[in-house]
Amino acid sequence: MNVFSDPAFDGHEQVVFASDPVTGLKTIIAVHNTNLGPSLGGCRMWPYASEQEAIHDVLRLSRGMTYKSALANLPLGGGKSVIIGDPRSQKTPEMFRAMGRAVEQVGGRYIVAEDVGTNPADMEQIASQTKHVGGINDGKDPARTGDPSPFTAYGVFIGLKEAVRFKNGHEDLAGLRVAVQGLGNVGYHLCLMLHAAGARLVVSDLNTDSVNRAVDEFGATPISVDEILYVDADILAPCALGGIVNDRSIDKIRARIIAGAANNQLEADRHGEMLREAGILYAPDYVINAGGVVEVYYCREGRPVSETNRHIEDIGATVREIFERASRQNLSTGFVADRLAEERFGKR
Ligand code: NAD
């Protein structure tokens, strides 16, 4: 089993393996970097095929949180946790209380939040054992539902408009065609904002109810899941899956801007360079989808939603700096974003 030699290890400060035989908990808590503050990141519960796969995933995700929080100007570092198990059949309240005790033992260097396979009820169990948990909604602010997705969508909307401004010289979305892949929690809220701004929507989802809703509410044009990436549009907003920009797709993408919420849109870093060469402006995913983590932070600090939104609007200035540097230096936006993040968190 490799930890230090895993490609995603990248100088992690701490990796904790914890178990609780009574509840069946097996967890790995990874703290990548705390230069800017305690590490914050979700707890993912997943039936990993092997322990090595779980280790690689937690290291990769935890490192990613360092970069995301640094570019979101949050006083936070990067961390993540995984629980090995099937959330549909193996999850119990007792297991999440044991998880809370494991988080408590890390002594505040790691703050846990929701992720794939975990939900607000699980966080409540964790919160009974430790105060180092984010995303718990105290119900005091009616504008806060506990779901970070609308905030993620708002950040994507800000980043997308900044991309339009950089490409077109103004940020007017009226009449622009935006292809939205995925109409889940984030994609739907993004469509709401794009529609209100006068954009014309082309949409696709595996779920036909979600597509019908977008057609009814926004007058969107539906298109098949096989065609959405390649449709004639000004902007492509991937809000479903990672890896959609790859050797097979790049030549067929007609949009000149890619700005969406999905994590890890580039299959490999070199695809960022290929987008640059193709004249496609790419708003790095982890920069513009940071609205959710900003909200988790403000919610934990007990600060109002109005402050969350003001902070999210800073995404515009950050992504503009990335576009400008990338253009001046003939580098891909993804590469420039990573270097800017490293400057901010002081990578050694
Ligand atoms: P979600 O599960 O609510 O929605 C994803 C949607 O994509 C679903 O409706 C699904 O049917 C659809 N989909 C899946 N495969 C598809 C395909 N091939 N073609 C078209 N549609 C397809 O997820 P979400 O919370 O809306 O998140 C969307 C993306 O944004 C994910 O990649 C997620 O990791 C990322 N993200 C989300 C947040 C957040 O706050 N929710 C924060 C950061 C990043």
Domain boundary assignment for the chain: 14-127, 149-345
pLDDT digits (tens, 9 = 90+) for 101-110: 999 999 999 9
Greatest CA separation found in the chain?
Answer: 61
The reported pLDDT for the residue numbered 135 is 79
Residue 121 — φ and ψ, nearest 5°? -65, -35
Q: Do domains 14-127 and 149-345 have the same CATH topology?
A: yes
| CA dihedral sign of residues 318, 321, 325, 328 | positive
Given the DSSP bridges, would you call strands 25-33 and 77-84 parallel, antiparallel or unpaired?
Answer: antiparallel
Indicate the length of the chain as a whole number. Answer: 348
pLDDT digits (tens, 9 = 90+) for 52-76: 999 999 999 999 999 999 999 999 9
340 lines ligand 1 (CB under 6 A): no
79 known member of a binding site? no
Burial class (CB in 10 A: 0-12, 13-18, 19+), 125: buried
Model confidence at 140, in pLDDT bands (50, 70, 90)? confident
pLDDT in tens, 271-320: 999 999 999 999 999 999 999 999 999 999 999 999 999 999 999 999 99
**pTM for the full model?**
0.95
d(CA 179, CA 228) in angstroms, rounded, equals: 7
User: Residue 275 and residue 278: Cα distance in Å, rounded?
Assistant: 5
| Residue owning tokens 């036909």 | 208
Please give the average per-residue pLDDT across 127-142, as a whole number.
88
Percent of the chain with pLDDT over 70: 100
What does the pLDDT average to over 206-222?
98
pLDDT above 90: residue 144: no
Q: What confidence category does residue 146 fall into, taking pLDDT thresholds of 50, 70 and 90?
A: confident
Nearest alpha carbon to residue 155 among 2, 302, 283: 283
Binned at pLDDT 50, 70 and 90, residue 159 comes out as: very high
Q: From atom 43 of ligand 1, which residue's Cα is the shortest distance away?
A: 289
Beta strands, E only, 34-119: 39-46, 77-84, 110-114
Q: What is the pLDDT of residue 165?
A: 98
Q: How does residue 147 score in pLDDT terms, banded at 50, 70 and 90?
A: confident
Residues catalogued as catalytic: 80
Contact 116 CB / ligand 1 (< 6 Å): no
* Distance (Å) from CA 330 to ligand 1 centroid: 31
Check whether 309 is labelled as a binding-site residue: no
Residue 346, annotated as binding a ligand: no
- Give the confidence band of 1 by pLDDT, cuts at 50, 70, 90: confident
pLDDT digits (tens, 9 = 90+) for 113-131: 999 999 989 999 999 999 9
Query: What is residue 54's predicted lDDT score, i.e. its pLDDT?
Result: 97
Mean pLDDT (the chain, rounded):
96
Check if 265 has its Cβ closer than 6 Å to any atom of ligand 1: no
**Secondary structure percentages of the chain, helix, strand, coil, to 5:** 45, 15, 40
Nearest CA to ligand 1 atom 15: 240
> DSSP assignment, residue 23?
T
With a pLDDT cut of 90, the percent of the chain lying above it is 93
Segment 6-41, tens digit of pLDDT: 989 999 999 999 999 999 999 999 999 999 999 999
Q: What atom of ligand 1 comes closest to residue 225's alpha carbon?
A: 19
pLDDT at 348 over 90: no
Atom 8 of ligand 1: nearest residue by CA position: 184
For the domain covering 14-127, report its CATH number.
3.40.50.10860
* Residue 138 clears pLDDT 90, i.e. is over it: no
Residue nearest to ligand 1 atom 29, measured at CA: 262
206 C-alpha vs ligand 1 centroid, how far in Å? 11
Query: Among the atoms of ligand 1, which is closest to the Cα of residue 241?
Result: 32
What are the b/e assignments for 150-184, b being 16+ CB within 10 Å?
A: bbbbbbbbbbbbbbbbbbeeebebeebbbbbbbbe
For 149-345, the fitting CATH number among 3.30.450.40, 3.20.20.80, 3.40.50.720, 1.20.1530.20 is: 3.40.50.720
CB 179 within 8 A of CB 233: yes
Task: Let me know: does 132 contact 100? Beta carbons within 8 Å.
Answer: no
